[in-house]
Amino acid sequence: MSEAKGKPIITVSGLHKRFRALVVLDGIDFSMRADEAVGIVGPNGAGKTTFLSVLVGAHPPTSGTIDLLGEDVTHVSASERCRRGIVRTHQIPRPFGGMTVFENVFVAAANGGGFPRDEGYERALDSLRLCGMFHLCNRRAETLGLLDRKRLELARALATNPKLLLLDEIGGGLTDGEANELVATIRELRRRDIAIVWIEHIVHILLEVADRLVCMDQGRIIADGDPATVMKTPAVVEAYLGGSAE
């Protein structure tokens, strides 16, 4: 492992997030290296999506700090964080309607990634190829089905040239064959040295890629470590898997 890969890509300390009286993140401490793929599981409402939103700057934390690549980005805008290499996909894909698939991805490369035109063009094409969407370049984004919308969401995120990619439930509703394709794509991203955080309820897909698993419950991290060990942790069995710790 190179020295750069072994360094933390992101470190979060004492992160709290409240929406009015509702405490959604309740003291999150988290750090990961650039060569890791971390899965996040947890019951509905645990705060997983909110965690990603706070990491990318879509919501300011109520308190706590976020350090990206050795710099404090807690008060840095979402667009600037994106240019520094952190990007997320959304649980519900949000393509720009009225634009083609290619235009959607090109806008991400140019605006999100800050690439000049020719480079943005190449990045957009590379992302579309990687996500198996090249043949759909000229389709209007709003005419895509759910699976292709999810692929487009991933292609747009990749076009920004992320160092850390945050995925929010991109596996839901896929057939086994489609899920295998998705796993192959994520493995290719790891070969390209992109660090991954992936929230997913379909745990068996997640475990094919994640080398570390985090379980959240009620705004806290209740387990963090080797996936097999985390899945057997009594607190995880009780909070997430619906079983008894006995």
Nearest to ligand ATP of 98, 242 (CB atom): 242
Q: Buried b vs exposed e over 160-198: b needs ≥16 C-beta within 10 Å?
A: bbbbbbbbbbbbeebeeeebebbbebbeebbeeebbbbb
Q: How far is the CB of 50 from ligand ATP (least distance, A)?
A: 3
Nearest to ligand ATP of 50, 127 (CB atom): 50
What residue ranges bind ligand ATP (CB under 6 A)? 19, 22, 24, 42, 44-50
Nearest to ligand ATP of 22, 228 (CB atom): 22
CA distance linking residue 216 with residue 219, whole number of Å: 6
Classify burial at 145, counting beta carbons within 10 Å of its beta carbon; exposed 0-12, middle 13-18, buried 19 or more.
exposed
Nearest to ligand ATP of 48, 150 (CB atom): 48
Joined tokens for residue 134: 């090249």
Q: How far is the CB of 94 from ligand ATP (least distance, A)?
A: 15
Nearest to ligand ATP of 20, 191 (CB atom): 20
Q: How far is the CB of 22 from ligand ATP (least distance, A)?
A: 6
Q: How far is the CB of 220 from ligand ATP (least distance, A)?
A: 12
Q: How far is the CB of 199 from ligand ATP (least distance, A)?
A: 7
Q: How far is the CB of 115 from ligand ATP (least distance, A)?
A: 31
Packing angle, helices 146-159 and 176-191, rounded to 10: 0
∠53-57-61 over CA atoms, to 5°?
80
Q: Return the biggest CA–CA distance within the chain.
A: 60
∠6-50-188 over CA atoms, to 5°?
40
Entry field: residues in the chain = 246
Nearest to ligand ATP of 109, 214 (CB atom): 214
Residue 46 has what DSSP assignment?
Answer: S
